[in-house]
A and B are shown apart, each in its own frame.
Chain A
């Protein structure tokens, strides 16, 4: 689905944020992107939808070469990529419905959008995704009246209503409490399985990543230094990604969490069974 080859990004001043990154994400696979702050995680997913302009390399979504697009072509490509943000990035003063419908902006003309006269089909889609994320009761509330977890659900609904092929998820749980974080991660993983969406999830919480994603990519100083299933992420791998530290607790916690969340694991395992897990762990 998504194929990145030799992607590099050098900001106007400073170091290379991304250095020759190559990876592929098949449809339906949820990839956790981990790495220290400044490793280039955000830059990587923003290069995919060209919120950040890559310096060199190629990004293909299906048959479309993203890096060469401009204007209308780029906007059409962005419609196929739903993005979910760290601080939700909802338009605070618009209602939940308006925020969700903003996911259809790539499909409607300016005046329809400006006058809020979206086609009925788009409104049906919006109600369907709001139902899926469990916010049907909050349709008319303003986004700034919602709790953190609810806001992130609106963020997910906005991405889903685009009917994308891939989700780009930037630290979805960074501003949420542990329980809500899990609910949000579970929701993301479930909708990806339901709709056969590929997803790249930037995440700081290694244990949470291990609990929910099918594949983990470790980024360090702009380079891919780990790529494999979550089980292969051991203390050595974490040291490669983040540097020297006592990692035993991080990983054990993950197992404790997993034990405590048997139900959650069950769901996720069932979902994973529907999609192909990566077979080999590569520690680069």
Chain B
């Protein structure tokens, strides 16, 4: 198992290299010129001399391969360059804003799990009856509604009309409720539906039938024979949702003026702050790969079959 984990971590290196190269190429394939954005943000008229001066100051006058190699060399020393816009070291800025995003994303993940499991269970247990209908309605709405729209509806209801919750900023638990719900609802809905389908599927299987035939209590049948087998798709889906939750944070942070890495990255994209975009993608890639690793480990732990076939092979 340890060997497997180390192997996966080693594999992260080529993944990061590949991602950094692709992102670099994509950024420079675009039509825009970060020097122009710098001048625009500085309110300097874009004259030829001003443009040349800005290009030189930002290091954009060098040939592209040279730019990439020098970036890569510095990145290997954990120096991801200086933001074109804030003028501070990129890694310093991103790590400054990361905790706020992890707080939001982590709580959204927790909410997803804590709410989707009871909903999925209820829907499967009382299939076709009113709990199932209610869950279907909630999940239908959750899956169909974009998170930013939900965020604005929540703000309209709880901040503008009722005045119960602050519409923006970071502070106490009251600041967390709306952004967390806005991020979590879609993943929660998908998870609930998945769990319901998986439960219903397992319920039909023969071992459940035999468990009942053996005279086990309905409670034990559900706990030991249905639920344990129905977890698996949920674990996989949760691994994928981590990416979704972080992606959701990008938009939601902007709406709720949440001082996180997502809002910082969105403004970097709008202003073509290449060093920030490069470092941000690498950071997200690392996070996602690590999360997938954790999911795979959970999977192996939950299901001996994958442990035997996939991991040890």
Q: Do A and B come from one complex?
A: no
A-side interface residues toward B, CB under 8 Å?
Answer: none
